[in-house]
Amino acid sequence: MTFDTNVLKINAGDIAGWPILKIDYPTRPASIAALLPPGISPSAEANVHLSIYCYPVPDEPEFGIVVTVDADYAGEKGLYTLGYGIDQESAIFISRDMNGQPKFPCEVEYYRLGGRVRARCIHQGYTFLEFDGNQAGAAPLPESQVETEWWIKVSRAVGGVEKAYDFPPHVVRVHSAYQPVYRETLDGELRLLDSPWDPIAKLLPMEGEASAYLSTAQPTARDITLEGPLNPDGFWPFVDTIGGSRWPGTQGGPQR
């Protein structure tokens, strides 16, 4: 299959229109289940989905990585978002406070040179992910793409009272629709590296081959809605997080 290269043409040096590097791999169902708070359920499949991007937010480049896993809520299939690692501090707090979007500061290197694609993600001085790949040909385009993410909006009580909240945990449903315009498969290697801040290698180990592709899609719809509450006592072990992602944490952050 071929794709229309006109849809990818941008002005020289423009930050808009970069394709997203999409990487998927299978992991252990029990590994995903251990990271889901009560009320969010494992799906029939157990995959980790990584999206590495450069996108203008609002008018300057934001490099980021999104880590999601297959998960269901109230019988609806979707993706539970563990974290958005981004290099823009200004977008972290408003996104988390308003919608529960789990953003945290992260240094992301992502580029394409000819047929080669490379990416590296660093948090608190630790490189936790590397990808090195090469173009392998056009991929079939689906007619449309629909995606549902689950975020958690929550606010602990002022003063840090044990198991107390100013706003108890609620699920946020993010429903998005896209029109794919370009996909290209990649042959490459995904390396997950040990990190106390982003323990993806330890907590979501690869149980099979990773697949990777470049993707460009035009957004056609996006709705962010507040859904039902989660059990506040059951959620308490998940409220202490690393870097604002949704990884398990300890008071004061991980020990170096």
Domain span at residue 223?
14-239
CA angle 21/25/26 to nearest 5° reads 160
Residue 8 lies in a domain: no
Tokens at 21, concatenated = 């590097």
| Mean pLDDT in consecutive groups of 10 residues from the start of the chain, 256 residues | 52 79 98 93 97 89 95 97 92 92 94 95 95 94 94 93 94 96 96 92 96 95 97 89 61 44
- The confidence score (pLDDT) of residue 248 equals 72
Residue 145 lies in a domain: yes
pTM score above 0.95: no
Tokens at 97, concatenated = 């406070």
- The confidence score (pLDDT) of residue 9 equals 63
Residue 196 lies in a domain: yes
CA angle 86/87/89 to nearest 5° reads 95
Residue 246 lies in a domain: no
- The confidence score (pLDDT) of residue 244 equals 59
HSE, side-chain direction, 13 A CA sphere, residue 252: 2
CATH number of the domain enclosing 76: 2.40.400.10
Give how many domains the chain has, as a whole number. 1
Residue 244 lies in a domain: no
- The confidence score (pLDDT) of residue 207 equals 97
State the DSSP code for 241. B
- The confidence score (pLDDT) of residue 80 equals 96
CB count within 10 Å of CB 119 equals: 24
Residue 248 lies in a domain: no
- The confidence score (pLDDT) of residue 135 equals 94
Q: Is the peptide bond before 58 cis (omega within 30 degrees of 0)?
A: yes
Q: Going along the chain, which residue ranges are E strands? A: 20-26, 41-42, 47-56, 61-73, 76-86, 103-105, 107-113, 116-123, 126-138, 145-156, 165-192, 211-229
- The confidence score (pLDDT) of residue 113 equals 92
Residue 251 lies in a domain: no
Residue 115 lies in a domain: yes
